[in-house]
Structures are given as C-alpha cells and as structure tokens.
C-alpha cells in the first residue's frame, strides 16, 4: 500500500533538509502536504523504480514515463570512472530513445529527498512532470509538482 508523509511547502535553508524530516520532504516549488495515492500509471513507475533498485542492490532506483506512455527504469551507477544517479540515467535513457517530454518520474531511495540536480534533469525534459519520491517499501514520501 502506498501512503504519504507530511511535507512542508516552505523553502528551507541550505543543509536543513538533511536534519529535519519534515523539511526533507520539501523539494522544489510545491510539495503536497499529504500526497494523494498515485494513480495506476504512477504506481507502475514507482514499482519499476523499486524493482530497478532491488535488482542490483543499488542505493536508488528511478523510472520515468514519456509523453507516449513508454517507461524507462534505471538504477544508480557507481563505478570508479562513472557515477550516475538513477534519475539522471532514466532521463538520459528516455532522451536517447527520442522522448520529447516526460509526464512523470519516480525515485525510490533511502534518502531524505531527491537531489536538486535530479529534479533539474527531470524538469529539463518534463517541465510539467510530477515527481514521486518513495521509500524502498513503496511508501510515497513526497509528490513534487511544477
């Protein structure tokens, strides 16, 4: 079952998201106070992100859905010569496959919040995309809307 965690929509100072669990869910311009349960297509990308993470025991997994409904799932890469976050890789996979826009993205991790660079990568290809941040058990921690 997917459930939400309270989030505060006020901007936070540098570093505060790591120490305050409520501030940790505050990301971008708008974060829902009590996220509504994701619809079936959104639940699918959350599941895909969790599966990508679990398959290779990565720190994080991500999935994105493009404007045609195609999905791309990825896990974080941590090689000596190459480090990519799961969201960066999922966005890159969509872009390299010809996606013109993203509708939604999901990140599954133990982290307090998606990194600003991950959010920026999603927004570059999907300025109107909804971003779900979920815990490894599928609990939705935050829903970021543009």
Following CA atoms 134, 135, 136, 139 in sequence, which dihedral angle do they give, to the nearest 10 degrees? Answer: -80
Name the pTM for this structure.
0.77
- Interval 81-122: pLDDT, tens: 999 999 999 999 999 999 999 999 999 999 999 999 999 999
Distance from C-alpha of 46 to C-alpha of 133, rounded to nearest angstrom: 8
Q: Could you give the domains of the chain?
A: 37-140 (3.40.140.10)
Q: What is the CA radius of gyration of the chain?
A: 14
| pLDDT over 90, % of the chain | 73
According to the model, what pLDDT value does residue 16 have? Answer: 35
Distance from C-alpha of 115 to C-alpha of 26, rounded to nearest angstrom: 11
């Amino acid at each position: 079952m997917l459930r939400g965690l309270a989030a505060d929509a006020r901007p936070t100072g540098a570093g505060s998201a790591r120490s305050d669990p409520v501030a940790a869910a505050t990301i971008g311009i708008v974060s829902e106070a009590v996220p509504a349960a994701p619809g079936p297509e959104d639940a699918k990308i959350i599941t895909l992100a969790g599966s990508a993470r679990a398959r290779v025991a990565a720190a994080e997994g991500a999935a994105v859905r493009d404007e045609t409904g195609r999905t791309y799932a990825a896990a974080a890469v941590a090689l000596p010569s190459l480090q990519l976050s799961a969201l960066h890789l999922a966005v890159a996979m969509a872009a390299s496959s010809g996606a013109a826009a993203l509708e939604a993205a999901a990140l599954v991790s133990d982290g307090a919040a998606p990194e600003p660079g991950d959010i920026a990568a999603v927004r570059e290809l999907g300025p109107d995309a909804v971003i779900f941040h979920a815990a490894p058990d599928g609990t939705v921690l935050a829903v970021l809307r543009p």
